[in-house]
């Protein structure tokens, strides 16, 4: 049986991390093989010698039936822009869960989700399409993470929280139970959210306060 080819979208820092994590994943899925990156940067990997090659730009990529993409773009708006282009071409995306992550009962994951090492998705929760859950994050019961959102490492989404589409959480940010974070909001690194966050807001600090509103 021929192997399914995995291609990482994005050859920046997250993409390089995903390159290693896919190697861990392939150990348990030997019918898949990592073949390269899609990236518009051109020189992103020039200073390294141990990564797969950049095989295409976004615009030049032509999907094949045996190719599956893994998204490694952190910023939600950039992620959506690139993914929308690739989907319009007919690209297929893989949901990838690192072997060390824990995904509990009645957890619904969308298309193209990336669950990184040692993260925990507890029970009875939903994660939308193309969500990135970086290392050592916790998403607790009865919560929802909207499409294209990104949780940086060590984030804590507690019980009953709603993150609308396109939310970005910086490293070690936390959202207290049963709060809603509006579409496109940014939660700064280390912030502790104790009240609802309006769409398009940027909040920072402990407790989190709004410093910008789009």
Residues 127 and 197 in one domain: yes
Same domain, 197 and 120: yes
Task: Give the range among 13-17, 45-49, 73-77, 109-113 with minimum mean pLDDT.
Answer: 45-49
Q: Which residue range forms the structural domain that includes residue 17?
A: 4-94
Last residue of a domain, one of 63, 94, 125: 94
Structural domain count, the chain: 2
168: phi then psi, degrees, rounded to nearest 5: -115, 125
* Phi–psi pair at 78, nearest 5 degrees: -65, -40
Residue that the structure tokens 């893989």 belong to: 94
Contact 112, 71 (CB under 8 A): yes
Q: Summarize pLDDT for 91-108 with one digit per residue, the tens.
A: 999 999 999 999 999 999
The contacts of residue 31 (CB under 8 Å, 6+ apart) are 1, 3, 4
List, by residue number, the catalytic residues. Answer: 141
State whether 30 and 118 are in the same domain.
no
Annotated binding site for substrate: 74
Q: How many CB atoms lie within 10 A of CB 106?
A: 10
d(C-alpha 33, C-alpha 191), whole Å:
39
Q: Are residues 173 and 103 part of one domain?
A: yes
CA–CA dist 169, 154 (Å, integer): 10
The CATH number of residue 80's host domain is 3.40.50.20
In a domain, 211, yes or no: no
**Binding region:** 74
Residues 53 and 126 in one domain: no
pLDDT, mean over the chain:
97
Question: Among residues 26, 61, 94, which one ends one of the domains?
Answer: 94
One domain for residues 33 and 104: no
Q: What percent of the chain has pLDDT over 90?
A: 93
Q: How far is 18 from 184, CA to CA, in rounded Å? A: 24
Same domain membership, residue 62 and residue 110 = no
Same domain for 103 and 83: no
CA–CA distance, 179 with 53 (Å, rounded to integer): 43
Neighbouring C-beta atoms of residue 111, cutoff 10 Å: 16
At residue 42 the predicted structure's pLDDT band, cuts being 50, 70 and 90, is low
The reply to whether 208 falls in a domain is no
Residues shown for the chain:
214
Tally Cβ neighbours within 10 Å of residue 42.
Answer: 10
């Amino acid at each position: 049986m021929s192997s399914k080819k995995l291609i990482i979208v994005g050859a920046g820092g997250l993409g390089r991390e995903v390159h290693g994590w896919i190697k861990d994943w392939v150990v348990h899925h030997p019918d898949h093989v990592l073949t390269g990156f899609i990236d518009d940067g051109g020189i992103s990997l020039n200073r390294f010698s141990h990564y797969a090659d950049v095989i295409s730009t976004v615009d030049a990529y032509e999907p094949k039936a045996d190719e599956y993409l893994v998204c490694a773009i952190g910023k939600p708006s950039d992620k959506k822009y690139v993914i929308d282009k690739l989907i319009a071409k007919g690209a297929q995306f893989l949901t990838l869960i690192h072997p060390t992550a824990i995904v509990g009962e009645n957890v619904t994951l969308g298309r193209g989700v990336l669950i990184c090492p040692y993260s925990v998705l507890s029970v009875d929760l939903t994660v939308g399409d193309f969500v990135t859950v970086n290392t050592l994050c916790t998403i607790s019961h009865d919560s929802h993470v909207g499409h294209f959102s990104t949780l940086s490492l060590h984030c804590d989404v507690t019980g009953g929280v709603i993150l609308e589409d396109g939310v970005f959480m910086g490293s070690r940010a936390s959202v207290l139970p049963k709060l809603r974070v509006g579409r496109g909001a940014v939660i700064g690194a280390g912030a502790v959210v104790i009240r609802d966050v309006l769409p398009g807001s940027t909040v920072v600090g402990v407790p989190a306060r709004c410093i910008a509103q789009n």
